[in-house]
């Protein structure tokens, strides 16, 4: 197993251990951001935006102060929330409409958090390194987000 695969395997186990017995979504977002920000290399911002009405609203995060509200369809996060599709951007400056909360950010990985097929939040991970995120990062973070989604379903008696 590659070092990166090992790391994501370990982070997956730690995420399960951290959130499995806890139903509070905000508390879980806070701990998952802290865990990932501490363990992933070369990240300058990592956190959640929650979908509230027709906007994404800043949730638990690690890093510098950030934009509070992002309209749907705007920026990398807004596009992720609207399309429900992962956005893995090598160079955010080439992304039409990118919202520069921190001018030093160059690459971004945004994963939707879905419950019952609907986006309820996004996990945004930023790096100052161009092309920082590869397919393995995308898959590793997606598995962690899946655990997060399953936790919400299990604790709220919802259908996935
Ligand atoms: N750059 C993001 C906005 C969020 S911040 O980077 C924390 C975007 O374009 O959606």
- Which helix (H) or strand (E) segment holds residue 113: the answer is strand 107-115
Ranges of the chain whose pLDDT falls below 50: none
User: CATH for 3-155?
Assistant: 3.30.450.40
CA of 1 to the centre of ligand 1 (A): 32
Cα(122)–Cα(128) distance, integer angstroms: 20
CA of 139 to the centre of ligand 1 (A): 20
Backbone φ and ψ for 59, nearest 5 degrees, come out as -120, -160
Domain residue ranges in the chain: 3-155
pLDDT recorded at residue 1: 84
pLDDT recorded at residue 156: 80
pLDDT recorded at residue 38: 98
Backbone φ and ψ for 25, nearest 5 degrees, come out as -65, -40
CA of 157 to the centre of ligand 1 (A): 32
Model confidence pLDDT, tens digit, residues 16-33: 999 999 999 999 999 999
139 neighbors 132 (Cβ within 8 angstroms): no
By most ligand atoms within 8 Å of CB, the mutation choice from 47, 74, 88, 99 for ligand 1 is 99
Q: Which two tokens stand for residue 146?
A: 């899946």
């Amino acid at each position: 197993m590659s070092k990166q695969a090992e790391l994501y395997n370990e982070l997956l186990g730690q995420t399960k251990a951290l959130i499995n017995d806890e139903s509070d979504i905000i508390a879980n977002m806070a701990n998952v951001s802290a865990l990932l920000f501490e363990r992933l290399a070369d990240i300058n911002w990592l956190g959640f935006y929650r979908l509230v009405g027709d906007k994404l609203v800043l949730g638990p995060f690690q890093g510098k102060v950030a934009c509070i509200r992002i309209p749907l369809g705007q920026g990398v996060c807004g596009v992720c929330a609207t399309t429900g599709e992962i956005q893995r951007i090598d160079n955010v400056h080439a992304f039409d409409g990118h919202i520069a909360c921190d001018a030093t950010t160059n690459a971004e990985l945004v994963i939707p958090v879905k419950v019952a097929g609907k986006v309820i939040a996004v996990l945004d991970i930023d790096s100052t390194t161009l092309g920082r995120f590869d397919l393995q990062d995308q898959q590793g973070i997606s598995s962690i987000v899946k655990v997060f989604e399953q936790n919400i379903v299990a604790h709220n008696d919802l259908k996935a």
